[in-house]
Each structure stands twice: as structure tokens, then as C-alpha cells.
Amino acid sequence: CGMSNFEGAAKRARHDADDTNGQAGTTQQPALPVPRSVSPRPHHFESTGRGHLTLANTDPIQMGFWVPHRRWATAKFLLPLRRHIEHKRKHNLLHPLTPVMAEFKHWITTHSVYRMWVHTMIDQSNAFIRGLPASEREFIKEDGDTLWLPSYGHFFEVLNEIVTTSPSYNNTAQVGCPIAAFLAVAMATESGVSLFHDTIFNGQLKKVLDSWNAFLKSPASLDKLDVANPEKEGSWISAAAWAAGVWNEMVCDPAKPGYGYASWNDFFIREFVPGARPFQGDKGKVINVGCETVPWQYAIGLRLETQFWAKDWPYSLLDIFGGRREWAERFVNGQLYQGFLSATHYHRWRAPISGTLVRSWVEPGTYYAQGLAQKEGPGTWDGTEAQPYLGHVATRAVFVFHSERTGYLAMVCIGMVEVSTCHIIEAFRVPDGATPVEVERGDEIGWFEFGGSTHMLIFDPTKRIMLADWARGASGHRTDLTPQRLGSVIATVF
């Protein structure tokens, strides 16, 4: 996900990460080979130590955490944005807070605990920036001072500026999520961790994200799909966006305003051209990719309940399923595949098998919560993978499919940061106690709205299911430039 139109270009992030594919379990999947052991690659730390990441040698995105590198985000995104706001203020062009943002500020200001958390989050963020080496503070300087934000009021002004425009195209893995770039420092502070895990606060923040979502569904959000000026800054129809594959095999009409789309969100959930993604293999013998993703992680021997917030982020089925024990227990000792979506990818979901959809729901969750293990210090930005963590706490759509041959199959579509909406098509909403719905593989069942995302497939441990080599070796494919194609075979059932 990404910045806005205020940052310079940066090369696509390609980072080393651990190749730890499994997690401990009491029983191994019968008759299935365990993936070969792979030596872990060295961790990378955000630090000034020799060989560690700095502003000079790092890419902007630490993809394992799904947030931009804090120093990079402050220097290359937040500071230019603050200057942009001050320029508008100086020339009387700064818009007042939107009604929703004004309400959000009033709510925080009149609730002492949340006002304290926001103030201390700003103080701790400023302390982090001031604590950087002098050579790096030079990148983050305004009027002779080194700050994240000058004041409490600036927090709402920056947020207001972001949610009154559409996301810009850029060539980083964070394309599409400017709020994540803004909060890159803050969400890692002690107060930020507390604030963004708080259910009541997230309920208020959701109103802000919903208002931005409403804007992104309006014609006013098409400013960066301007056919009259395709090379404008942040354009999604620029030569750079085309070269990056934004429009590969996608429906568009360059002769029409907005490339034929009614809004930015309409563009975001664009379709493939007919025939671009056929579902492969014998539907009675295979499980297909239902969400087009770059492979991220594989696990076997899943446990019912773990400390998923601890080191290595062990998957906890009970938490992934939102405490619904009746579903979590069905997958104990099973296998799990997780993949990653950039904002440039296809964001619709399709049924991975033919059979019945026995249950589906949207599990509410957090938006900018970092794992508790992500503390300040040299190890904050090492190679451990926080995407599994988000699968336990972030907003997500959960589907449970069934067929006689595959048994139960869960598909969990997880919204990350700005992706506050996981939409299940009405015909495939199956509440508790409802009659299961017949599905054919390839049926469209829902989609993400704006931002970047991740998803999981969780397999029945009572069935003999062999995942494809690329899925079992998922961590070795994290830097793949293209995702695994929708409709390709991810598993064979014996």
C-alpha cells in the first residue's frame, strides 16, 4: 500500500525475510511430505549499525510489517505533506476539517484517556525522530527543528488532507495507503500500540475511514484517472502505472473519462478482461486460487489457540475465526497458506471450489494495530512477518466452504490498514444457522475496497491434500514481481 502524491519515486521493495514455513503442532498431516528445510536468511534491522537499514540504503517498505519504513515515511512523505499544508495555510487555501473529522477531533478532545494517548503518541513520535543520528535528522528537518508533528492540531490537519483526496500511484509496495505512511512512526510507539488496539477508538476511526470510502466512491475521486492529463503526478493511467502492470489484462476504456470508471473505488475493484483467468484443473480433484496474491507464508500442524502476538506470530485458529470455536476446531492440525495483495492487484474474491458455502461473515477488527512484539529498538523492523498477526486482529471476511472430496475449506480475506471494507456479495452471506449456499468454483463472492490486503486458505486436516510447491515454499516467493494467478491450482486432493 502506499503514500500519496507528495513523495518522490522509490524503487519496488524487495526484502529478505525468514524462510520459516511451519509451526509446531501435535500431529503431522498424514502421508504428506514436509517441505524441505531452508536456512533462514539474515534479519534486517532498522538501525544505524553496520549492514543495517538506514535512509541511505533502505527501500521504503518493510513489507513484513505492512507499514513503510518510519524514517523513510517521515522524510519522503510526511514532511513534504506538512509543507504542502503550510503552503495552503499561508495562501488561505487550507480547507477546514470535514464534519466527520471535526467530530473525530471533538470526540478525542472530550475523552481524557484518548486525548492523553494522542498527545503522548505525538510526544513519543517526536522523541523517536529526535533520537535519530544527526546525519539522518538532516532528512527530517523543518525550520531548524526535527519533529514528527509540531502539535496536537496538526494530527487532524494532516489526516484531513489525506482523506479529502484520492490515493496516488507510486512504484512501492505501499501504493494506495497514505494514512499508513503518515502513521508509520506513531503506530509503533507505546501509546500508538495502545490507541490502535482500542475497540472504542477504532469505532470512531472507522467513521473517518468510512467518510473517505464514500469520497472514493464519488466522481470527485477520479482526479488521478484524468484522461486529459494522464502523466499528472500520482496518475493511475500514466506510462509508469501501465509499465508496472496496473492495467495488465484489466477492463478499461481509455477513450472515456476515468478510463470508463465511475469513481476511484470503481477502478480499484476493476475486472479482468473475459477469459483472462480461467479456472484450471479437474474441479473434482483440485483447489484453485480464489484471491490473486503473492505467496507469503505456509504453516502445517495448526493449533487451536496460541499467543499469536508473540515472536514468530504463530497462527491461532480460535482468533482467526473470531472466537467461533465450532469452526476453529475443524482445522486443528491442518495446513494454511497466506498471500499478499498490493493495491495494484485484482481485489475481487472467487470461490476456490465447487460445493457449498456453509458459513460466511465479516469479523470487525483493527486498522493500524502493530503487533505487541514490534517494540522500539533495533529489532523493531527485523524480518519477522506481521501479516499473520493481522489475520488475527484486522477486519476480515471469513468463508467456510465444504465438498465431499475437499472436506471443509476456509478462506479468510483480511483488510489491512486503509482497507476498512470487506464486502461479501449478498447471495453469499450465510449467517449462523442458515441453509448452506451452492457454489461453483469461480463464482464471485466479494471484494476488498481500497488499499492493500492479505488472505488465507485453511485446509481440512482429515483430508489428504497436497499443496503446490510454490504454496508450501511460500516464503521463498515473497519478492515475486507477479502474484499467483486467480484460478491456478494451489492444491490437489487425493
Q: What is the per-residue pLDDT across 323-381, written as a single tens digit (0 to 9) for each?
A: 999 999 999 999 999 998 877 789 999 999 999 999 999 998 887 777 665 544 433 33
C-alpha to C-alpha distance for 494 and 466, rounded to whole angstroms: 8
pLDDT bin (cut points 50, 70, 90) of residue 141 is low
State how far the Cα of 415 lies from the Cα of 394, in Å rounded to an integer: 6
Length of the chain: 494
Q: Of the spans 62-71, 304-313, 365-374, 459-468, which averages the highest pLDDT?
A: 459-468
| Per-residue pLDDT tens digits for 6-65 | 333 333 333 333 333 344 433 344 344 333 333 333 333 333 333 333 434 444 333 333
Q: Give pLDDT, residue 175.
A: 55
* Confidence (pLDDT) at 184: 77
* Spatial separation of the C-alpha atoms in residues 29 and 80, rounded to whole Å: 52
Contacts of 57 (CB under 8 A, 6+ apart): none
- pLDDT of 114 > 90? The answer is yes
pTM: 0.80
> Which of 59-63, 83-87, 130-134, 244-248 ranks highest by mean pLDDT?
244-248
- Ranked by mean pLDDT, which of 176-190, 425-439, 445-459, 473-487 comes out on top? 425-439
Q: What is the pLDDT of residue 252?
A: 96
Residue 176 has what pLDDT?
A: 59
Contact 162, 178 (CB under 8 A): yes
Over the Cα atoms of the chain, what is R_g?
Answer: 22
Which strands make up the sheet holding 335-341, listed edge to edge? 294-300, 335-341, 452-459, 407-416, 396-403, 355-363, 437-439
Q: What is the pLDDT of residue 11?
A: 32
Summarised one tens digit per residue, pLDDT across range 367-406 is 777 766 554 443 333 333 467 777 888 889 999 999 999 9
Pick from 113-127, 185-199, 409-423 the range whose average pLDDT is largest. 113-127
Mean pLDDT of 421-450: 95
Q: What is the mean pLDDT of residues 400-413?
A: 97
Mean pLDDT calculated for residue range 172-182: 67
pLDDT of 223-269, one tens digit each? 999 999 999 988 999 999 998 889 999 999 999 999 999 999 999 99
Beta strands in 374-449 (DSSP E): 396-403, 407-416, 421-424, 437-439, 444-449
Residue 139 has pLDDT above 60, yes or no: yes
Nearest to 396 by CA among 311, 343, 338, 464: 338
Q: Name the E strands within 34-125.
A: 61-62, 67-68
Question: What is the rounded CA–CA span in Å between residue 121 and residue 178?
Answer: 19
pLDDT tens-digit profile of 465-479?
Answer: 999 999 999 999 988
**Is pLDDT at 100 greater than 60 in this prediction?**
yes
Which residue, 207, 220, 213, is CA-closest to 265? 213
Mean pLDDT, all residues of the chain: 81
Q: What is the pLDDT of residue 404?
A: 96
Residues 6+ apart with CB under 8 A from 285: 405, 492, 493
Pairing state of beta strands 286-288 and 489-493?
antiparallel
Confidence of residue 142 (pLDDT cuts 50, 70, 90): low
Dig out the grid coordinates for 64 from the structure: 513484513
Segment 283-298, tens digit of pLDDT: 999 999 999 999 999 9
Residues 6+ apart with CB under 8 A from 434: none
The pLDDT > 90 percentage for the chain reads 52
Helix 112-130 to helix 99-109 angle (10° resolution) is: 100
Whether 460 contacts 409, CB under 8 Å: yes
User: Whole-angstrom Cα distance, residue 32 to residue 465?
Assistant: 8
